[in-house]
Amino acid sequence: MPENLLPIIQAQKAWQAAIKAGKEINMNIDLEAYRKLLNIVSVGPFYYYIFDLQNGLIQFVSPSITQVLGYNPEQFTPEFFFQIIHPDDAPAFIGFGKKSVEFFNAIAPKDIFRYKVRFDFRIRKKTGDYIRVLQQVVTMQTTETGGINKTLGIHTDISHIKTEGNPVLSFVGLEGRPSYLNVDLSSKFTPTTEFLTRREKEVLYYIVHGRQSKEIAEILFLSRFTVLNHRRNIMTKTNTSTIAELIAKAIQEGWV
C-alpha cells in the first residue's frame, strides 16, 4: 500500500466508527447552524465546509478557501486534503479524529450538538508555503443512537497567533457544558477546572472577536463599568497584560 494513502485510510476508519444507525436528528440549519457558526472563533482569514461522514465526502466548501489557501473549492476533497496537510502533523490529525470518536461515544446523544471540537495543524497553500490553521467543528446531523453523520467546520489561519508548537486538541462545551482542554490522547476524559465565570467567558468571547467594552456592554446588557471590571479580572486570572496577549493565549489554550 502506498505510504501516502495510509493517513486517509486511517481517517476513514475513524469516520466510520462515528456512524451509528438510527433516526436522523438535524440541527436547525436556519437558526442553530448559523448561530453556532458565529460561535466558532474567527480571528483571521477562514473558510468553512460541510463534511458527510457517511460517504466520506466534503459536500460544500466556501469560496473563501481561495483567499486562504489559493485552491478552488472543487479541489478540496478528503484525498486532496491529506496531500497538503503537513506530514509531521498528519499523525496528530489521525489521533485527534480517533479521540473525538471516543469522546462523542462517551457522552449522551443529546449533548453531541453542544460540543465544539478544536485543534490546530499546518497545511500547505498553493504557493507551497505552510500556514497553521485552527480547525473547529460542530455536528450538523446525528442519530438518536449518538452517531455523527454530518459536521460543519471552519479552518482559520492563526499563523500570526501560533508560530510553533505541537497541535493541541480540545472539546469546548457550549450552552453550559464542561470543557475538556488540551486533551491527552492516552488519558481518560477529565473536565477542565473552570477558572473563569460564565459571564467572564462571555466577555472573553467578544474580546477575542474584537468588540470594544462599550459594544460588549450593549450586547450583554451590562454597564461599561461592569465590563471593564470583568476585563481586569480576566487579565488577572489568565496572567496576561495586553489584549493581544490575551487573545493569543485564549486561542492557543482553547478557552473559547
Domains of the chain: 3-173 (3.30.450.20), 198-253 (1.10.10.10)
Q: Per the structure block, which three cell numbers stand in for 98?
A: 480517533
Give the Cα separation of 137 and 134 in Å (integer): 10
Helix (H) or strand (E) holding 28: none
Cβ contacts of residue 82 below 8 Å, gap of 6+?
4, 7, 8, 11, 90
- pLDDT value of residue 27: 63
Q: What is the pLDDT along the chain (256 residues), one digit of tens a residue?
A: 344 456 667 777 776 767 676 666 666 654 455 555 555 556 788 999 999 988 889 999 999 999 999 999 999 999 999 999 999 999 999 999 999 999 998 999 889 988 999 999 999 999 999 999 999 999 988 888 878 888 999 999 999 888 888 888 999 888 888 889 888 888 877 777 788 888 988 898 888 878 899 999 999 999 999 999 999 999 999 999 888 888 888 877 777 7
Q: Per the structure block, which three cell numbers stand in for 96?
A: 485527534
Hey, is 127 helix, strand or coil? coil
Measured CA distances, 256 to 11, 191, 206, 208, 241 (Å): 26, 15, 10, 8, 19
Q: Per the structure block, which three cell numbers stand in for 42?
A: 474567527
Cβ contacts of residue 256 below 8 Å, gap of 6+?
41, 172, 201, 204, 205, 208, 250
φ, ψ (nearest 5 deg) of residue 24: -75, 140
Q: Using N-to-C axis directions, what is the helix angle for 6-18 and 90-106, rounded to 10°?
A: 10
Give the Cα separation of 218 and 172 in Å (integer): 25
Measured CA distances, 106 to 18, 26, 100, 116, 255 (Å): 12, 20, 10, 15, 22
- Entry pTM: 0.80
